[in-house]
Chains A and B, each alone.
Chain A
């Protein structure tokens, strides 16, 4: 039996703008967004999904391949999977969330198999579901999203949220950049699934991820958490974009003269690589991969070999220069703060999923890599879509509801220069790319950087809106700037080293900081400490 879905309604389509009426609007069409859209539709909502690029190729997953935190429901295996990374994450994870993500990821992965995802089987014929090929996965997700009756708007970046008189989110508005006009969606709930922020570093597939959803959520009053865990850097060939750090666990790392760099490693020795890169070029060679491993690598991640095959380098027998590209909050664990099991944010009607949301609940302060993020995208997408659909249902009819545009920076007629997105983005990169500022943090350097970032914000927030062609670039740069300020303010507040956050001036983990750092604000950025759930319980029991 084919299930019939109600579609979102096109209210008007005049020259210059198109308006839809929907129950749920999903911003972002990567894994989290598509899962959210399908879930909302399955829970009875009329759904619109708007993606800045193209749903199916947008985001960090589509271009790559990703592990998935998929663990058979065998209690010992599940326990080991949860316990395995608690130390690395600085004991900030939440066991209850880890367990429900493992359950949900198992269900969603098996759903993918039912939909025809070509999972491989091992030598014994057992299906292997702990890895996904990005292009294949996201092509399928686009198809299933359409089949669920979701209206997809491609090349339609959101610029700002709409909020009603009671502060409840009422939709969003944006650009259709290939049509040169505007869109607006009146919706009863909105899911932010716009990914993290990688600051246009060209880490694979991530240049669409500029923190856009953070900015428009913050303009509606949303809060963030764990933004200090935002300094993930990935290894790539120095000239290229393909970041597949897993394969570098078979690499040796050498300096210009060919001497092995002591302690350099993809796992547990990446900071050594960062320090070596400050002195001169660093080279890698995957010389520890035997012939069988090499064959597995080739079929598992064909794009890893494009930079090599196309430059005539044999990465197994020849040295090649490498660099570290900032992955920011994409592989950090910070993001929008969620307040309940349905992935609601602190703003009524606003939900968050995937890398746009915090992953502190399952990763603590250290990235679980693609694997945990992929599991989180499936799970939080499913929950956020369901939660948003339920919120919309309870809200009921909204005829005559007034909606107000909440966009600020880059969208107003300022009193001076126009906001220059390209130049601003480069200025932000100058503050977040350098290893001595972001990888290795210290109060003095963070403080000086924050002063410069605050100055940039003050200037940009008074600048005039640029013309239509430059508007998206300006908003992206503003989102990067806002993200950098939440990151560094949070990093200053955590006066210890924990997870991926390392402070030169506080090199040890300190029990007094076993809490989360909440952050927020635009003109005035603030942070505060928030206890872990178990600490709240034990306090209540006293």
Chain B
């Protein structure tokens, strides 16, 4: 489930509010809030669309978790999914790295 909107990094662009397919976030006068955490389907797409690497989706789909944001930043976990799919300049070659054709038919 979505656990973190990092206040340091978030620029209140509200992209996450728009793109979340299950409408978990609410806009505010400042940065968005996680208004309906239990509606989160753990699809990681808000993280993928966040241009500031300010979000963290915990992999636990059914229960909230305690999160150490400083440790996540230290380990460069924030933004790691975006880098893995090639949605940042440094790794954009990964957009065409799909090797599923080598895995089908196993």
Q: Is B97 an interface residue (CB 8 A)?
A: yes
Residue of A nearest to B85 (CB): A302
Complex Cα distance A237/B20, Å? 23
Contact call B84/A302, Cβ cutoff below 8 A? yes
Residue of B nearest to A118 (CB): B96
Quote the shortest CB–CB distance from B74 to chain A (angstroms): 14
Residues of A within 8 A of B61 (CB): 202, 239-241
Residues of B within 8 A of A178 (CB): 17, 23
Quote the shortest CB–CB distance from A493 to chain B (angstroms): 33
Residues of B within 8 A of A306 (CB): 44, 57, 59, 81
Complex Cα distance A239/B42, Å? 11
Could you mark each residue 85-112 of chain A with 1 if its beta carbon is under 8 Å from any beta carbon of chain B, else 0?
0000000000000000000000000000
Residues of A within 8 A of B43 (CB): 57, 62-63, 204-205, 241
Residues of A within 8 A of B45 (CB): 57, 62-63, 135, 205
Contact call A133/B98, Cβ cutoff below 8 A? yes
Residues of A within 8 A of B42 (CB): 202, 204, 240-242
Contact call B19/A311, Cβ cutoff below 8 A? no
Residues of B within 8 A of A154 (CB): 18
Query: Interface segment, A225-233, A293-301, A449-457?
Result: A293-301
Which of chain B's residues 42-68 have a Cβ closer than 8 Å to chain A? 42-45, 48-49, 57-63
Contact call A246/B103, Cβ cutoff below 8 A? yes
Query: Could you say which of B21, B58, B101 contacts A310, with CB atoms under 8 Å apart?
Result: B58
Residue of A nearest to B18 (CB): A54
Contact call A54/B104, Cβ cutoff below 8 A? no
Q: Which of A250, A295, A306 has the most CB of B within 10 A?
A: A306
Given contacts A303-B44, A303-B81, contact A67 B100 (CB under 8 A): yes
Contact call B99/A119, Cβ cutoff below 8 A? no
Could you mark each residue 62-83 of chain B with 1 if its beta carbon is under 8 Å from any beta carbon of chain A, else 0?
1100000000000001001100
Quote the shortest CB–CB distance from A52 to chain B (angstroms): 8
Q: Which of A135, A154, A178 has the most CB of B within 10 A?
A: A135
Contact call A130/B101, Cβ cutoff below 8 A? yes
Q: Is A458 an interface residue (CB 8 A)?
A: no
Could you mark each residue 18-45 of chain B with 1 if its beta carbon is under 8 Å from any beta carbon of chain A, else 0?
1111110000000000000001011111
Residue of A nearest to B47 (CB): A306
Contact call B20/A54, Cβ cutoff below 8 A? yes
Contact call B59/A131, Cβ cutoff below 8 A? no
Contact call B99/A57, Cβ cutoff below 8 A? no
Q: Is A128 an interface residue (CB 8 A)?
A: yes
Complex Cα distance A63/B48, Å? 10
Complex Cα distance A339/B39, Å? 36
Residues of B within 8 A of A62 (CB): 21, 43, 45
Q: Is A380 an interface residue (CB 8 A)?
A: no
Complex Cα distance A400/B29, Å? 44
Contact call A206/B41, Cβ cutoff below 8 A? yes
Contact call B44/A300, Cβ cutoff below 8 A? no
Residues of A within 8 A of B60 (CB): 239-240
Residues of B within 8 A of A293 (CB): 102-103
Quote the shortest CB–CB distance from B70 to chain A (angstroms): 16
Complex Cα distance A388/B98, Å? 35
Contact call A310/B59, Cβ cutoff below 8 A? yes
Residues of A within 8 A of B9 (CB): none
Contact call B96/A119, Cβ cutoff below 8 A? yes
Complex Cα distance A85/B63, Å? 39
Residue of B nearest to A136 (CB): B95
Q: Which 5 A-B pairs have the closest CB atoms?
A: A53-B21, A131-B100, A302-B84, A63-B43, A307-B59
A-B contact pairs, 13 of them (CB 8 A): A52-B21, A120-B97, A131-B98, A202-B61, A204-B42, A204-B43, A205-B21, A208-B21, A240-B60, A246-B104, A293-B102, A307-B59, A310-B58
Known A57-B45, A119-B96; further 17 A-B contacts with Cβ < 8 A: A53-B20, A54-B20, A120-B99, A131-B100, A154-B18, A202-B61, A202-B62, A204-B42, A208-B41, A237-B59, A242-B59, A246-B103, A246-B104, A296-B102, A302-B84, A305-B84, A309-B80
